[in-house]
Chains A and B, each alone.
Chain A
Amino acid sequence: MTQNGHVESSTVRVKRGLAEMLKGGVIMDVVTPAQAEIAQEAGAVAVMALERVPADIRAQGGVARMSDPRLVKEIMAAVSIPVMAKCRIGHFVEAQILEALGIDYIDESEVLTPADEENHVDKWKFRVPFVCGARNLGEALRRISEGAAMIRTKGEAGTGDVVEAVRHMRAVSQGIRRLASLREEELATAAKELGASLEMVREVSSTGKLPVVNFSAGGIATPADAALMMQLGCDGNFVGSGIFKSGDPLRRAKAIVQATTYFDKPEILAEVSEDLGEPMVGISTSSLRPEELLAVRGI
């Protein structure tokens, strides 16, 4: 029996490592401590502490910002699972505040109104890990090179329409498959096209996967949606408005957790999809005006 030796905190491995522990799980948006407790009870692997879910941000308009630190602290106190919170794209001071609160993960999110239309947060400067949204491989690799320790598809948050999440997950996977098929001398051009470093493009080309965990997000509202995203190759699901904008949140949340685990077992999916009450109403993404799309923010 001996004592431990060299110790290093907040390393890349530790930051990416927490996301590894979340795999196969569901991260749920919550706006109150009571909702956080319901999410934990349902089997969420983490909660995202917010003032308004994306569906309400969409409906109410105005500038969407980081949540009140008091609300974030109350939610952190209410549950023992990891708690995430969102900062605006490029708003490194909101990120500093969330880190000071001791949050477990920061989502630099297009769901909030961007604070900087050119630059994202330099995430390497932080001890807390970050998750960022992406619509395709180039966006994912650019966020990872800025220090993101986890990626999620952007989808189109607050719609309950899974179509954009599917589009983005397929785009990321196709991008990876394409890189894996290229010859060594073709990778420099690919890196230029993707706006990513050659080093990272080489890594993805040889491993055939992203160097970080990739969840899906943005429009997942049913157990079938969650299983669809898992079958398309994501590592887990974020569910925002889909749970607490539905008729029976606890029941639906439990069903989405089950569907994420048993994503390839249609009999179980049929069983858990039964009798869930009203889903969130939803908005078809194709009916949105271009200026109403959130996914085009922060590319």
Chain B
Amino acid sequence: MPTTGARVGVLALQGDFREHMRLLESCGASVVPIRLPEELTGLQGLVIPGGESTTMSRLIGTAGLLEPIQEAVAGGMACLTTCAGTILAAREIRDGLPGQIHLQILDIAVRRNAFGRQLQSEEVELDIPAVGRPPVLVAFIRAPAIEQVGEKVEVLVTYRSQPAAVRQGRHLALTFHPEITGDPRLHRLFLATL
């Protein structure tokens, strides 16, 4: 997989954005943290990290980031989302809070905390053909489930019978955290399309 000098933003409002930045940098990307709308210019990709989706939703609202992100996506910016990021990027959030902002980048319906609370969080080896062997060790932490996918959405792997990694065009959405276990292959897969 080739490395890339692509300019990639990581939404840095809350969550494990530093782990994503470190992984992307190790893959050769030029990485910028994003907290304000004016920081979005000139990005080929945006990573929306894990964290607390309700918190990030509130912060996206107060920062006025909703429309600028949607416009950048319409202009060709690709997104990689993990866990809470995937919730924010979904077309539909089941069990979302009233007034929860969502970006509607991906044609998927997600359910928050679908597998239960922290005691149900797990480390799992996922066999993802799109990144090859060996399996990718990832963490599911109070993870959402993707309950429905649109026609243009390709399912890359399932977990407990539901899609856990999906691709729509150049967007890649995961319900788990490869950044916690540090396997860079999914980040490389994303960067290779930019």
Asked if A14 contacts B141 (CB within 8 A), the reply is yes
**Which of chain A's residues have a CB closer than 8 A to the CB of B95?**
80
For the complex, count residues of B whose C-beta is within 8 A of A. 51
Within 8 A of A (CB), among B117-143: 117-129, 135, 139, 141-142
B148 CB within 8 Å of chain A: no
Within 8 A of A (CB), among B72-124: 83-84, 95, 97, 112-113, 116-124
Q: Which residue of B lies closest to A26 (CB)?
A: B55
B13 CB within 8 Å of chain A: yes
Overall SS of chain B's interface: mixed
Known contacts A80-B54, A80-B95; is-contact A13 B139 (Cβ 8 Å): yes
Within 8 A of A (CB), among B15-51: 15-19, 35, 50-51
A164 CB within 8 Å of chain B: no
A157 CB to nearest B CB, Å: 23
B171 CB to nearest A CB, Å: 18
Binds B, one of A140-148, A186-194, A256-264: A256-264
Known contacts A13-B181, A45-B51; is-contact A5 B124 (Cβ 8 Å): yes
Chain A 6-24 per-residue mask, 1 if CB under 8 angstroms from chain B, else 0? 1111110110011011111
Within 8 A of B (CB), among A53-86: 80-82
Asked if B118 contacts A82 (CB within 8 A), the reply is yes
Expressed in whole angstroms, the Cα–Cα distance for A9 and B50 within the complex equals 19
For the complex, count residues of A whose C-beta is within 8 A of B. 44
Asked if A9 contacts B121 (CB within 8 A), the reply is yes
Asked if B55 contacts A25 (CB within 8 A), the reply is yes
**Which of chain B's residues have a CB closer than 8 A to the CB of A129?**
118
Given contacts A1-B129, A5-B124, 9 further A-B contacts (CB under 8 A): A2-B127, A2-B128, A6-B135, A11-B122, A14-B122, A23-B14, A102-B117, A105-B118, A258-B59
Q: Interface on B for A, CB 8 Å cutoff? A: 12-19, 35, 50-52, 54-55, 58-59, 62, 83-84, 95, 97, 112-113, 116-129, 135, 139, 141-142, 155-160, 164, 177, 180-181
Q: Interface on A for B, CB 8 Å cutoff? A: 1-11, 13-14, 17-18, 20-25, 40, 42-46, 80-82, 99, 102-105, 127-129, 254, 257-258, 260-262
22 contacts between A and B (CB under 8 A): A1-B129, A2-B129, A3-B158, A4-B158, A5-B135, A10-B119, A13-B123, A18-B118, A20-B16, A20-B50, A21-B84, A21-B141, A23-B16, A23-B51, A24-B17, A43-B54, A43-B59, A80-B54, A82-B52, A99-B119, A103-B118, A257-B59
Nearest 7 Cβ contacts at the A-B interface: A43-B58, A104-B118, A24-B14, A45-B52, A5-B125, A2-B127, A9-B122
